Structure 1
């Protein structure tokens, strides 16, 4: 079972979107992620570097293509972060 836990690394909006996109696939090409987020190469690179430093994402270069993937640790962290966000939202909804 995934432990609900807020994750500062994932929480930044672009990083949360990156993790969510990568969670749905085995790997995704860098330009596809960049276009989906509508950011520059440098902005995406900075966010991916943060995720990679936390061991949440991996980068693989095959010929001239760069592939991004969520690691097992990244998938677990994302699941915990999403669970915590859900818990927070449910608490807010219960207070109505």
Structure 2
């Protein structure tokens, strides 16, 4: 039983990472560069928290009516990707 719960939790963590990347506008293929992570630190920390606590984040997201993400991927002049909060 513990193995099943562990497997479900790990699948949830992996899925959370994929969903976070997709919602921000990043492709699923490949690794993110260190420069992208450093330049997108607020998004990165939010992603780490949502991966570790994905059941709570999922419940909150559903309770709020599935709002759109506040994050957006932007390509800079030197070709790197940054994730910033959307400006309205």
Where relative contact order (Cα < 8 A, 6+ residues apart) is larger, the structure is 1
Structure 1-normalised TM-score?
0.28
Structure 2-normalised TM-score?
0.30
